[in-house]
């Protein structure tokens, strides 16, 4: 007979596109994922997953198990939390999805602080700059930065976050100043590929003239990792558009120079996305939201 650990494990498989992706999320080896899946299938005497060259699909029995597992585990967590709430404690498992860089620098430390405060609660944090919206039901909270494409989730703004166009002093000394958006066509631009956005279309709004200009850049370098893009900019390889939270310190120190200050770029506010089920209203979720709203609202990148 399978147990709750088996159900949680199979939920992880169901929320990823391949066994290798599941292994990366759980920080274990792919063979260990395969072996444990086979053990569950042997227990049930059912085939749960069809394995393909680069991905997996759930069988009808696998889909049924994943759907029922989500319900059962949510009820178990709610029961566990309800029992502890009688003693005014927080319990259960808080599952958070966050962007890679921001999650590492700001969300992970807050989750550690939160878990230490509530010893009967556990935390699962997944970091990704390309979140899988199909598995949004797996998360209590999704921390998101950028253009929001899914409006079915409840949204709580944690902090306003501007985007800045910037480059290193060494780059500007070598290639010259940028006086207007059209000048970017003659510069080396860096593109961060994330969140399925159109990252080569840069938009600029001049509030004084009430004019919006759009420039299609031809990036010399592109990457899906924001830290790589920032390091390229710091090393003088080009101009980037980057979130305020990530470059505030470098702009303050002079390592990066903010360009076209008379223009505004589309904002990328930092938000928390919540589902509509009972878990989004749980005590562990509500109290963590209060914590991150307080801490992130203070814009710690300026402190």
| Residue 141 tokens, joined | 């909270």
Higher pLDDT, 52 or 207: 52
- pLDDT for 1 equals 80
Q: Report the DSSP beta bridge partners of residue 273.
A: 142, 155
Residues 140-191 pLDDT 10s = 899 999 877 666 678 889 999 999 999 999 999 999 999 999 999 999 999 9
Q: Which of 53-57, 246-250, 261-265 has the lowest mean pLDDT?
A: 53-57
Q: Which of 128-137, 188-197, 268-277, 281-290 has the lowest mean pLDDT?
A: 128-137
SS3 124: strand
- pLDDT for 174 equals 95
**Would you say residue 6 has pLDDT above 60?**
yes
Number of other residues whose CB lies within 10 A of the CB of residue 157: 13
How far is 179 from 155, CA to CA, in rounded Å?
37
- pLDDT for 109 equals 95
How far is 76 from 73, CA to CA, in rounded Å?
5
**Would you say residue 88 has pLDDT above 60?**
no
**Would you say residue 249 has pLDDT above 90?**
yes
Give the predicted TM-score (pTM) of the model: 0.70
Question: Of the segments 63-72, 134-143, 189-198, which one has the largest average pLDDT value?
Answer: 63-72
**Would you say residue 137 has pLDDT above 70?**
no
- pLDDT for 196 equals 62
Q: State the pairing for strand pair 92-98/121-127.
A: parallel
- pLDDT for 84 equals 60
Average pLDDT over residues 254-281: 83
**Would you say residue 193 has pLDDT above 90?**
no
- pLDDT for 11 equals 85
Element (H or E) spanning 56, and its range? strand 56-58
How far is 22 from 191, CA to CA, in rounded Å?
28
Percent of the chain at pLDDT > 90 equals: 41
CA-closest candidate to residue 300, choices 270, 272, 261: 270
How far is 124 from 36, CA to CA, in rounded Å?
20
Question: Of the segments 54-68, 106-120, 234-248, 276-290, which one has the largest average pLDDT value?
Answer: 234-248
Higher pLDDT, 119 or 158: 158
Average pLDDT value for the chain: 86
Higher pLDDT, 293 or 151: 293
Q: How confident is the model at residue 72 (pLDDT cuts 50, 70, 90)?
A: confident
Q: How confident is the model at residue 230 (pLDDT cuts 50, 70, 90)?
A: very high
Higher pLDDT, 37 or 281: 37
Average pLDDT over residues 280-291: 81
Average pLDDT over residues 212-219: 90
């Amino acid at each position: 007979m399978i147990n709750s650990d088996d159900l949680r494990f199979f939920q992880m498989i169901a929320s990823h596109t391949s066994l290798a992706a599941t292994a990366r999320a759980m920080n274990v080896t792919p063979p260990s994922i395969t072996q444990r899946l086979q053990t569950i299938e042997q227990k049930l005497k059912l085939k749960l997953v069809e394995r393909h060259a680069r991905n997996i699909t759930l069988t009808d029995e696998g889909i049924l198990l994943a759907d029922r597992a989500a319900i059962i585990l949510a009820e178990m967590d709610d029961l566990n939390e309800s029992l502890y709430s009688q003693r005014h404690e927080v319990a259960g498992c808080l599952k958070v999805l966050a962007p890679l860089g921001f999650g590492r620098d700001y969300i992970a430390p807050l989750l550690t602080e939160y878990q230490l405060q509530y010893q009967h609660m556990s935390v699962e944090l997944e970091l990704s700059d390309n979140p899988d919206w199909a598995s949004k039901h797996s998360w209590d909270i999704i921390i998101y930065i950028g253009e929001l494409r899914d409006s079915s989730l409840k949204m709580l703004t944690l902090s306003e976050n501007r985007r800045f166009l910037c480059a290193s002093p060494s780059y500007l000394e070598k290639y010259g100043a940028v006086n207007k958006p059209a000048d970017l066509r003659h510069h080396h631009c860096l593109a961060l590929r994330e969140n399925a956005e159109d990252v080569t279309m840069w938009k600029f709004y001049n509030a004084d003239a009430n004019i919006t200009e759009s420039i299609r850049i031809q990036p010399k370098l592109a990457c899906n990792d924001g830290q790589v893009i920032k390091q390229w900019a710091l090393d003088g390889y080009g101009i980037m558009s980057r979130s305020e939270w990530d470059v505030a310190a470098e702009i303050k120190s002079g390592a990066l120079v903010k360009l076209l200050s008379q223009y505004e770029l589309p904002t990328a506010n930092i938000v928390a996305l919540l589902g509509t089920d009972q878990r989004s209203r749980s005590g562990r979720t509500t109290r963590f939201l209060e914590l991150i709203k307080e801490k992130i609202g203070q814009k710690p990148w300026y402190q």
